[in-house]
Structure 1
Amino acid sequence: YGQKSVGGPEHVPPGWDSWVGLVGNSRYYNYSLSINGTAKKYTTEYLTNVLSAFAEEFLDYQRPENSPFLMVLAPPAPHAPFTPEPKYVGKFKDKRVPREPHFNTANNSDKHWLVRMKPVPLPNETVELLDDYYAMRWETLLSKSMSTNPILLIDIHATILQMAGVQPMSTDGRSILPIEPTGNRTFYLEYRGEGSEKYDPSCPWRDNHLSLCSSKACCKCQDSTNNTYSCVRSVIDEVEDFVFCRFEDDEAFVEAYDMIKDPYQLVNLYPGLDPAKKKHFSVLLDSWMPVED
């Protein structure tokens, strides 16, 4: 946000009565905010605290019983450069990335080629770097919560409409209010892999279809153009939690996991999956796939 080519800090996207936008991205000090179209420079004020103050000020003037409102508060924490507020510096220095069963495992022969990319497993110095990043992220994000019910981003739309007392004609999501103890749901997932025209000259890869191949991480790439996949996941209370994914790559790679028996996705069930179940989930996935013109 804030680039001159799209109007600069003076541009306030349509639809907002009150606007506070960070010019650029992921700066915790020495940044500029667009406050209703007027740029203001901040040097020593920690960004998350400034945004919180604006949010509190906005809420103080609201009377929701008479006038429903929508507020979106989206601080960049805990994104890089992982700059914590001074009082939190070093608070999580002893934290490590959780050593779950799927962490840095060498047993990945049944996984997508990007996961199989060498080095496998990662060397100790790279793992130590991951631990450092993990601790720094915690210093910029100090609270979290967890729900055991499957909730999707598209549910936000339905939830906001319900809170505003609006009955939609149709919606892909469902309201999470009130949150009921039901886990029955089938939903579609997709990810479009990203490649880059830039590469680290110290790495052996010169393919612009790869992304985030850093010598600091032993040239283990984090993404690629054909790391593009679509999945369907079926959740039925505690009876079934099954995910079936298909990649758009030269391998026509498919993976499937029983998330109840194998929550860490260690064993790809697709090669030995019952043909009837293969067909069921393949047809189900096809029915969710977007139709190309």
Structure 2
Amino acid sequence: MRPIRPSRRSLTAAAAVLLAVASGMSAASAAPDDADTRPNVVLILADDLDATTTPVWQAMPRTAALIRDRGTEFTDGFAPMPICCAARASILTGEYGHNTGVLTNSGPVGGFESFRANGNESHTVATALHNAGYRTGMAGKYLNGLEHDPGHIPPGWDDWNAGVDNFLYSGYNYTLNENGTFVEYGIAPADYETDVVGAKSRKFITDAAESGQPFFWLASSTSPHFPIPPAPRHLAETRPTAAPRSPNYQEPDVSDKPSWLVDTAAPRAATIAATNDIDYTNRLGALKSLDEMVAGIVETLARTGELDNTYLIFTSDNGYSLGAHRLTQKMAPYEESMRVPLAVSGPTVEPGRSDAMALSIDLAPTILDWAGVPVPDRVDGSSLTGVLRGDARWRTDFLAEYGGPGADGREGIAQEQIPGTETPLVYVLDMPSWSGVRTQRYLYVRWYERERPIEAREYELYDLRSDPYQLTNLVKTPEGRAAHADIVDTLDRRLTELTECAGPACR
């Protein structure tokens, strides 16, 4: 094993503190002039991990202890673009989907090709940090559609280890582009995708610590995205477990829902009955290895002397329905699809909880703030650093968007199928495009935003105080629309503002 040199913080910073105590100087003034003491950032991104139904912290006790309990948990974390590619595009740029041009997984308003065609690669968090002198790297899932140009390495990444086929979702038999070399992984236990991402994370951190350069690392396992199984070592302890039966599970009466759900309610319910508990069991089992991956990352940061100067973020790209409203998958404007776990720890983060509405688009400006890099005006999100300091001013609503599956039904979750497992049913189980505004009390949604003229669209309104499970659409009937006309008018105007916003106007 190669010996590890003491890092820039394990000795240099410690010596500076001792000198400061002896001489009466501050630790900062005692640091060597050539030491780059800017903080590191590690973003650990789960895949399809909801914060509503899945008991995340019980399933991941190490992550709870090492990140959540050492820092701040955002109990109102949201993914405003609740499908993989759109969500990840917003994380990388800090922008809403209507500004990245990525609202789904493929087609004119989705996928890696749309992300690149709209110029987003020039202004990601990776390019900003790389240009500011950070060492950057990632492993695992990047953006849906990268498989169509597998040799591509986006600008800003010094260490690139991205999956280039959908076998990544199975945990085995996938290929990574490792800095321009295609490396195939098979079916051996050591090839399990979460473990490979974990090993690459530990190596990057170790190497970056030796270099003395501040670093940014994205650990992006596909866990617990369907159908990844538990790691081999966890199979024996993974017991069949029924998914939680919340009040909206297999919602009995969906007559007040949009017509797409009314028309497909029966096959959706049948799919949930056949697959949901199996899916949930595998998800809980897969989270065990993800939890171990997080622990390995934190242990490596501690061993290299970097932990005290590293911000850690644990979150997911989007949530997951798990049978709510007869829905599998995500994409919906409902709580199960949009709520995600979010915990942050680091040098200036005090332990505690926050109920601030924290969005995926807030991660990029927060990371740039920590690194001392100016946040571009084009960014729609807001840095969470103020909230973490206890500042009271914060957003009271946000925009949510989805671009739909396209005219042939293949541009949404169909893009996440493993080759050889395609089924026509997946096209039925997608949903039309929509936009919505979520306030602290209400959810208001306009359906068929891209498919129908405005006079033919459908609407939903939920009072989340009295109806947290979104069982009663207040504007389904003429009487309901009349009774809530003022609220609808206000929310509709606000929704129009947000769907057209850019930069500061979105904050």
TM over 0.5: yes
The 8 Å contact of residues 105 and 121 in structure 1, kept in 2 or not, is answered as no
Task: Report what 2:405 is aligned to.
Answer: 194
Deviation digits for residues 136-169 of structure 1, max 9, x if unmatched?
1222223585674321111011111111112325
The 8 Å contact of residues 149 and 181 in structure 1, kept in 2 or not, is answered as no
Task: Report what 1:201 is aligned to.
Answer: none
Task: Report what 1:202 is aligned to.
Answer: none
1:82 paired with 2:292, answer no
Task: Report what 1:165 is aligned to.
Answer: 372
Structure 1 segment 1-20 matched on structure 2, within 5 A: 3=147, 6=149, 8-9=150-151, 11-20=152-161
The 8 Å contact of residues 227 and 279 in structure 2, kept in 1 or not, is answered as no
State the 1:28 CA deviation. Answer: 1.9
Which of the numbers 265, 288, 291 marks the counterpart of 2:498?
Answer: 288
State the 1:133 CA deviation. Answer: 1.3
Task: Report what 1:242 is aligned to.
Answer: 442
State the 1:190 CA deviation. Answer: 0.8
Letter in 2 for 1:260: R
Secondary structure of residue in 1 paired with 2:384: coil
State the 1:78 CA deviation. Answer: 1.9
Task: Report what 2:471 is aligned to.
Answer: 266
Letter in 1 for 2:471: L
Which of the numbers 221, 240, 243 marks the counterpart of 2:428?
Answer: 221
Deviation digits for residues 217-245 of structure 1, max 9, x if unmatched?
98993114xx111111122xxxxx21111
Q: 1:220 to 1:102 in 2, by over 3 A?
A: farther
Secondary structure of residue in 2 paired with 1:98: coil
Instruction: Calculate the aligned-residue CA RMSD, in Å.
Output: 3.5
State the 1:47 CA deviation. Answer: 1.7
Structure with the bigger RCO (C-alpha within 8 Å, sep 6+) is: 2
The 8 Å contact of residues 405 and 411 in structure 2, kept in 1 or not, is answered as yes
Task: Report what 2:285 is aligned to.
Answer: 139
Secondary structure of residue in 2 paired with 1:49: helix
Tell me which protein shows more helix as a share of its residues. 2
Deviation digits for residues 60-108 of structure 1, max 9, x if unmatched?
1234996332211111222233222112215443321211111112211
Letter in 1 for 2:484: D
The 8 Å contact of residues 195 and 211 in structure 1, kept in 2 or not, is answered as no
Q: 1:123 to 1:16 in 2, by over 3 A?
A: closer
Which structure 2 segments of 5+ residues have no match?
1-144, 292-314, 316-340, 343-353, 415-420, 502-507
Secondary structure of residue in 2 paired with 1:61: helix
State the 1:57 CA deviation. Answer: 1.0
1:23 paired with 2:164, answer yes
Task: Report what 1:152 is aligned to.
Answer: 359
Q: 1:117 to 1:52 in 2, by over 3 A?
A: same
Structure 1 segment 63-102 matched on structure 2, within 5 A: 63=209, 67-89=213-235, 91-102=237-248
State the 1:31 CA deviation. Answer: 2.8
Which of the numbers 112, 129, 145 marks the counterpart of 2:275?
Answer: 129
- 120-129 or 44-53, which deviates more: 120-129
Work out the percentage of aligned pairs sharing the same amino acid. 28
The 8 Å contact of residues 233 and 242 in structure 1, kept in 2 or not, is answered as yes
The 8 Å contact of residues 242 and 280 in structure 2, kept in 1 or not, is answered as yes
Return the alpha-carbon distance in structure 2 between the equivalents of residues 197 and 218 of structure 1. 13
State the 1:184 CA deviation. Answer: 4.6
Return the alpha-carbon distance in structure 2 between the equivalents of residues 13 and 32 of structure 1. 17
Q: 1:289 to 1:138 in 2, by over 3 A?
A: same
- 98-107 or 246-255, which deviates more: 246-255
Which structure 1 segments of 5+ residues have no match?
199-207, 236-240
Secondary structure of residue in 1 paired with 2:198: helix
1:57 paired with 2:267, answer no
Letter in 2 for 1:36: N
Return the alpha-carbon distance in structure 1 between the equivalents of residues 376 and 412 of structure 2. 42
Task: Report what 1:34 is aligned to.
Answer: 177
Return the alpha-carbon distance in structure 2 between the equivalents of residues 253 and 125 of structure 1. 25
Structure 1 segment 198-217 matched on structure 2, within 5 A: none
- 130-139 or 270-279, which deviates more: 270-279
Secondary structure of residue in 1 paired with 2:358: coil
Return the alpha-carbon distance in structure 2 between the equivalents of residues 94 and 135 of structure 1. 6
Give TM-score, length-normalised by structure 2. Answer: 0.47
Q: 1:169 to 1:24 in 2, by over 3 A?
A: closer
Q: 1:125 to 1:176 in 2, by over 3 A?
A: closer
